[in-house]
Amino acid sequence: MGHRLAVLLAAVSLPLAASAAPAQAAPSTVPLGNVIPAPVEVHPGGAPFRLTPRTVIEAPPAARTVADRLGEALKPATGFRLPTVGRASSRTPVIALSLGPGVKGYRLTSTRDRITIRAATAEGLFDGVQTLRQLLPAAIDARTPQKVDWAVAGGTIADYPKYAYRGAMLDEARHFHTPDEVKQYIDEIARFKVNYLHLHLADDQGWRIQIDSWPKLTQVSGGAGTGVDGVGGGFLTKADYRDLVRYAAARYVTIVPEIDMPGHVNAAQVAYPELTCDGVAPPPRTDTEVGYSSLCTSKEVTYRFAEDVIREVAALTGGPYIHIGGDEAHATAPADYLAFEQRVLPLVAKYGKIAYGWHQIAQAPAASKAVAQFWGTDDTDADLVAAVKTGTRVVMSPANQAYLDMKYTEDTPLGQDWAALIEVHDAYGWDPATRVAGVPASAVIGVEAPLWSETLRSLADIEYMAFPRLPAIAELGWSATYSWDSFRARLGSYGPRWDRQGVNFYRSPQIDWS
Ligand code: TNX
């Protein structure tokens, strides 16, 4: 490619650059930039890199785990050894992970014998590694050795996130999903540079996290039959939870625990009737009604309960946020709701964490130091707009665009439709910076794609609803530019990767699946 054309291509938008790339690379290479989420800058050029049986991964000690994980990811399909080394000899083909100051995000350079990923942090290198995986042929996701020319197009990518918070949420309460299923989901979302996983750990049906000071929560409400329609059940022991936190952290995913209060607490009240105002235990419920249960805000025991739970959950949490729910408290009088939030939001700070809740918490002045998760369908919210002026920060999860439990079409066999039918184009078609009038970009820390599991039992169910909409939300959280045509084309070529991984995705008719 002539120099002038290269300069031109670098200056134009991604879809053009991506589709023009094959002209200068071997026909089998993935066009540089054919990555989800779209990288910020893509400059194709030069000879492709080839992964061979002799390739080594070079990494300093601080990047060793990222390097080892890259090797593990590439081994099954290539059958190559891909050892991690401190320094490669100059004649060996190498994927070099390099840590150094001055790089925003990561920078990936692909040349004939060397791919270099440079970043200021190991997290940046991890992000670059996710990009590299998508630049290899789709067969790289196969689980057994494939005979493939493992070429990566030549050129440079400079990339960094738009928002710091790019989340997914999984509802463990309505149907319990095992630690292995959660780990699998973590692997699947981390590919798209999602860096937070919010776990909804308690609701009316069941309580899913061990709390030592209130042991009956899981003994009574965590067992078999506590899922929706009496299907499934279970809970995470503290050991399970710590293991999940570690597993996620190794993939640069931070787990955000949610204990929903003061509503969505029937399971807690079945176990501890003193949490109701009349002291009478309600019957266990496995239907999908919402908004009928409330902690008794006038009883002191309620605040001992809230504090004990927050303290124990904070001790399990590596990240900065504890989510305390606050949605659909229809059975709590408005004044009681405010009084409750005024006392409970500061408890999160008392245990060293930042309070996070559904956007209704914005009604409480104490939410000025909190993060509010917008899950509305309207284009503004007076309480949220007022709260933002006092310092509240916002995660955007508009239910009619970001909710992964909404059906794609009327015919989707799983999911609900109370907020909207959400096809891929709808999931991609909004801007977190302008979604809520009066909530400026400066107040938005990012996006999250929640997945409520009333209708979802298995990992296959989860995958079907999450993919391909989760990558759409991930791209809104990461990418500097917005282009449906480009996203649509990149998504179409991602299908074979999910096929190889065995991921059960929805083949939206809006996408040309290759
Ligand atoms: C509303 S969204 C809820 C959840 C349900 C969900 C189902 C939100 C904060 N609360 O309790 O699971 O709808 O889509």
Tens-place pLDDT, residues 202-218: 999 999 999 999 999 99
Q: How many residues comprise the chain? A: 514
Which one, of 172, 169, 244, 258, lies nearest residue 208 by Cα? 172
CA 492, CA 496: separation in Å to the nearest integer?
Answer: 9
Q: Is the pLDDT of residue 413 over 50?
A: yes
290 C-beta closer than 6 A to ligand 1: yes
Contact 470, 168 (CB under 8 A): yes
* Ligand 1 centroid from CA 249, angstroms: 27
* Ligand 1 centroid from CA 405, angstroms: 9
Identity (one letter) of the amino acid at 190? A
Q: What is the DSSP annotation of 391-409?
A: T-EEEE--HHHH-TTB-SS
Q: How much is the pLDDT for 91?
A: 82
* Ligand 1 centroid from CA 256, angstroms: 17
Does 165-484+491-501 match 3-159 at the fold level? no
CA 256, CA 248: separation in Å to the nearest integer?
Answer: 11
Q: Which residue has the tokens 């039992």?
A: 457
281 C-beta closer than 6 A to ligand 1: no
382: left (phi over 0), alpha (psi -120 to 50) or beta: alpha
375 C-beta closer than 6 A to ligand 1: yes
Q: Is the pLDDT of residue 23 over 80?
A: no
Assign domain 3-159 to its CATH superfamily: Chitobiase/beta-hexosaminidase domain 2-like (3.30.379.10)
Contact 222, 233 (CB under 8 A): yes
Please state the domain extents for the chain.
Answer: 3-159, 165-484+491-501
Q: Which residue has the tokens 């503004």?
A: 380
Higher pLDDT, 1 or 483: 483
340 C-beta closer than 6 A to ligand 1: no
405 C-beta closer than 6 A to ligand 1: yes
* Ligand 1 centroid from CA 375, angstroms: 9
* Mutation choice for ligand 1 from 324, 327, 377, 451, CB with most ligand atoms inside 8 A: 327
Catalytic hit among 41, 289, 328, 475: 328
End-to-end CA distance of the chain: 27
Q: Is the pLDDT of residue 456 over 70?
A: yes
Q: State both tokens at 135.
A: 């630049």
416 C-beta closer than 6 A to ligand 1: yes
452 C-beta closer than 6 A to ligand 1: yes
Q: How much is the pLDDT for 379?
A: 97
CA 119, CA 132: separation in Å to the nearest integer?
Answer: 14
241 C-beta closer than 6 A to ligand 1: no
Residue 510 CA to its chain's centroid (Å):
23
* Ligand 1 centroid from CA 223, angstroms: 22
pLDDT band at 22 (very low <50, low <70, confident <90, very high): very low
Q: What's the CATH class of domain 165-484+491-501?
A: alpha beta
Contact 398, 372 (CB under 8 A): no
Q: Tell the residue nearest (CA) to atom 2 of ligand 1.
A: 375
327 C-beta closer than 6 A to ligand 1: yes
Residue 416 CA, closest ligand 1 atom number: 14
Beta bridge partners of 107: 118, 158
Tens-place pLDDT, residues 113-171: 999 999 999 999 999 999 999 999 999 999 999 999 999 999 999 999 999 999 999 99
Has 41 been annotated as catalytic?
A: no
* Mutation choice for ligand 1 from 290, 373, 374, 418, CB with most ligand atoms inside 8 A: 290
* Ligand 1 centroid from CA 285, angstroms: 16
Angle (CA) 190 196 197, round 5°: 85
pTM equals 0.94
Mean of per-residue pLDDT scores for the chain: 94
* Ligand 1 centroid from CA 159, angstroms: 34
Q: Tell the residue nearest (CA) to atom 4 of ligand 1.
A: 452
328 C-beta closer than 6 A to ligand 1: yes
Q: Is the pLDDT of residue 11 over 60?
A: no
pLDDT band at 325 (very low <50, low <70, confident <90, very high): very high
